[in-house]
Amino acid sequence: MDWFFFYGLFGSINSLSMLNKLLDHKWDIFIAILLLSLLVAVRAFESQLFYDPFLVYFEGDYIKLPLPEFDGLQLFFGLSFRFFLNTMLSLGIIYALFKDKGMILFVSILYLILFVGLILAFFCILHFFKNQENLLLFYVRRFLIQPLFLILFLPAFYYQRLRG
């Protein structure tokens, strides 16, 4: 038998049909995997690519340690550059998978709004709370430097595509 059915969480699925769909979109999948690999490279070479004295700081017992010395302007540009790289790669992945320019425009605006809010929150926490809100600083910084929004957006857009 060339193909088979199985019944799972989503009902019966024709595996041959699914394989054909994957093969029809092999270049899109290849580009998405390549861009995902570049996201991994950004993370792997973060200490060489970006100024961020908090990389080492948050690896230790940062709750009890005082904040490291940092150059605010250099930190701003380092965080901004990293967010920009992650955003461009994330937008590329979203476009490769969904091919919807309207969606890309919407996500771009969303990324811009999120960046402004997060970078303001990050520097406000640094300036006003000093060493009192290290955990909050950790999580705000995490949203700035890691492509967490991609993890949120992909399933949301996939679900929208299924329902739309």
pLDDT digits (tens, 9 = 90+) for 100-144: 999 999 999 999 999 999 999 999 999 998 778 888 999 999 999
Which has more pLDDT, 77 or 164? 77
Helices (H), the chain: 15-24, 26-44, 46-49, 54-57, 72-98, 101-124, 134-145, 148-163
Task: Please state, rounded to an integer, the average pLDDT across all residues of the chain.
Answer: 88
With beta carbons less than 8 A apart as the criterion, state whether 136 and 76 touch: no
pTM: 0.84
In this structure, the dihedral spanned by the alpha carbons of residues 126, 127, 131 and 137, taken in order and rounded to 10 degrees, is -20
Query: Which secondary-structure segment (H or E) carries 6?
Result: strand 5-8
What pLDDT score does 1 carry?
Answer: 42
Domains in the chain: boundaries: 27-163
What pLDDT score does 9 carry?
Answer: 52
Q: What tens digit of pLDDT does each residue of 1-11 get?
A: 444 444 555 55
Residue 94's closest CA among 41, 27, 158?
158
